[in-house]
Structure 1
Amino acid sequence: MIKIILQAGQNGPVTGTRLEDLSELVTDEKSTVWVDVIDPTKEEIARIGKRFEFHPLALEDVERGGQRPKIDQYDGFQFIVFYGLTTELDRCRSHEVNIFVGKHFMVTFHDSHLAVITETAERWHTNVGAMGNRGVGFLLYSLLDALVDGYFPVLDDIAERADTLEETIILQGQPSLQAEILQLRRELLMIRRVAGPERDVMNVLVRRDPPLFGRKELAYFQDVYDHLLRITDSVDIYRDMLSSVLDANLSMVSYTLNIVVKRLTSSSIILMSMTLVAGIYGMNFVFMPELDWRLGYPFALGLMVIIALIEYRLFKRIGWL
């Protein structure tokens, strides 16, 4: 679906879904146009590309998806690949956002799972008087800042799940917890793969001073860059913490296994001693004094019990039982 989210000029905000409405807005230097394409089809990508004269290679990246975060400079516009994060069913999900930025326009392609883009548009509509006239550079900053700020709740959720796992491991280590720990590490690795290149993108926007933006916007992009630094640092910290949690879980599982093995070994030794007594008196020899003894049977049972009690006390003392 193609949606014209914002046009901030002399006429104020305009919202619509007609691509033809862009004819006058794009050429108006006093306007800032944001075209948002939700769940884009090949036809919609082609229509937008033709209208804005986007490079075929950039359109191919949008159509194929799965691109690494990057920024490419083309004649008249920049193509930026960024990612938003959401938490669905206790799992972290990444959503690709393709952004085309020109002198007076911004075009975004993304799926329908990113509510943060709609929220950003609503904030611009609400504050169009204060924010609308700042240009496309500030509009791009608002979008990137909203996407990056969405990483923090995801990291907080991962940290909370890691703390819960750590508490569970302290109480009792379980082999089943290892799969959950590895899942969290995979999610952190995914965030690291996204945030690292995005930091490079922001570094390009800040350090190279692109002609599409003025110096006033650079401070805002620096703020997003700083947020990404915090995110990558947090990811590294959480990964180290999960490595410690994984080691602790393996240690607890090994400790529990050792206890079980000790108890089984102790029980086996006790039973083997009793079996030894039973085996001796079960031999079919003619001359065995205890066979004709009236108290032979109680004596054998008593001997088994005494041996078992002695071994039980011994194993109890050394901590095997």
Structure 2
Amino acid sequence: MIRAYRTDGSAEVIGPDDATGDFDASIIWLDLISPTKEEEQQVEKRLGIPLPTPEELKDIEPSSRLYVENGGVYMTASLIYKVETDLARLTDVAFILHGNRLITIRYAEPKSFALFSASLLRATEQCPTGTVLLGRLLETVVDRTAEVLEILATRLDALSISVFVDRKAAKRRPPRFLEDKLLDIASHHQLVSKARDSLISLSRLVTFLQSQQVVRREEEAAELCLVVARDVQSLAEHAAFVSNNITFMLDASLGLINVEQNAIIKIFSIASVVFLPPTLVASIYGMNFHFMPELDWNYGYALALFGMLISAVIPFLFFRWKGWL
């Protein structure tokens, strides 16, 4: 689908019947959403520039993601999406500045694009150039990334509360509670990793964009790029802080799991020591020797039971006195 936005804030969908002549001069933004081969050819023919293919968008080489060709500035950034799900992903989005127009190519639906297009349709002020439009779009992308990090920080706070509870609440935890929390920590780690990868790609894109003459000669666009660059830098530091918190949560959860496992092993160890003397007494009087004087005692059975009980109680009281129980 090809959605065209005009300088007055209106938008329309360009169909195959509109594939004649050049694009209207009032169209400032062409947003190609999962375009077909025919739609790509239509835009290439009407603009006179080549468009990057989906395979080229996935190229990680800087020379393939940031370059100038045929009078157009080509940039590719990785944006995060599907944040609300348990499996956040990155999608490669192409930003092309050609003349006074911005062209974007994407094969996913990052929420930042929906937010920006909605604000663009509501805005009463006109957007003068495609460069300024790109600056505002990148600003929305960065704001959305900041929102993602805030969502992640909120999730980490809830996770911290559920893990670091008082001892009475810990005793009421269901089995494998902490093991299940490890899966949540892994999900949060994946989200912050995707956010950091997105910020790195945005930082490279903005640095490249600031070096272009088309941005330098527009004061508003240059100021927007400077603001975006500063925001990306601060968000990268914040993402590193959140990543450190996740690492701490992982280490703490593993430590609590080890403590619980050690407590279980400790109980079994003490139980084996406590029941060892009674087992010894029972083993002695369970031997089948013919000449055992205790076998003829009237109270031999009761004395053996009493001896086993005393031999179990004494180690138990000793462990309690030592504080091992």
Q: 1:120 pairs with 116, 119, 128, which one? A: 116
- Residue 223 of structure 2 corresponds to residue 225 of structure 1: no
The answer as to whether partners of 2:57 and 2:76 remain within 8 angstroms in 1 is no
Judge which range, 190-199 or 253-262, deviates more. 190-199
Residue 178 of structure 2 aligns to a residue whose secondary structure is coil
Instruction: String of CA shifts for 1:262-283, please: whole Å, max 9, x gaps.
Output: 1001111122221100001111
SS in 2 for 1:286: coil
The answer (yes or no) to whether the contact 2:294–2:300 under 8 Å persists in 1 is yes
Cα drift, residue 167 of structure 1:
2.4
| Aligned CA distance change for structure 1 residues 214 and 234 (closer, same or farther; 3 Å) | same
In structure 2, C-alpha distance between the alignment counterparts of 1:191 and 1:120, rounded to whole Å: 19
What SS does the corresponding residue of 2:214 show, helix, strand or coil?
coil
- The one-letter code matched in structure 1 to 2:52 is L
- Larger displacement relative to structure 2 (241-250 or 103-112): 103-112
Gaps of 5+ in 2: 171-176
Distance 2:320 2:20 in 1: 84
Q: Is residue 2:84 matched to residue 1:88?
A: yes
- The size of the alignment, in residue pairs, is 309
Change in CA separation of 1:236 and 1:191 when aligned onto 2, cut-off 3 Å: same
CA deviation after TM superposition for structure 1 residue 94, in Å: 2.5
How far, CA to CA, are the matches of 2:191 and 2:31 in structure 1?
28
Matched ranges for 1:111-260 at <5 A: 111-128=107-124, 130-132=125-127, 134-171=128-165, 172=170, 174-206=178-210, 208-211=211-214, 214-260=218-264
The Cα of 1:313 is off from its aligned counterpart by 1.3
Question: What 5-or-longer segments of structure 1 have no aligned partner?
Answer: none
* Match of residue 100, structure 1, among 96, 113, 134: 96
In the TM superposition, what whole-angstrom CA distance separates every residue of 1:190-232 from its partner, at most 9, and x where no partner exists?
Answer: 22122113112112222x2423551331111111111111221
Q: Distance in 2 between matches of 1:125 and 1:190?
A: 29
The TM-score with structure 2 as length reference comes to: 0.86
Q: How far has the Cα of 1:127 moved from its partner?
A: 2.5
Residue correspondence of structure 1 range 282-301 to structure 2 within 5 A: 282-301=286-305
Matched-pair contact (CA < 8 Å) for 1:49–1:59: no
Q: 1:37 aligns with which of 32, 41, 45?
A: 32
Identity percentage of aligned residues: 24
- Residue identity matched to 1:197: S
Q: TM-score, normalised by structure 1?
A: 0.87
Say what the alpha-carbon RMSD is for the aligned residues: 2.4
Write the distance in 2 (CA, Å) between the matches of 1:286 and 1:122: 98
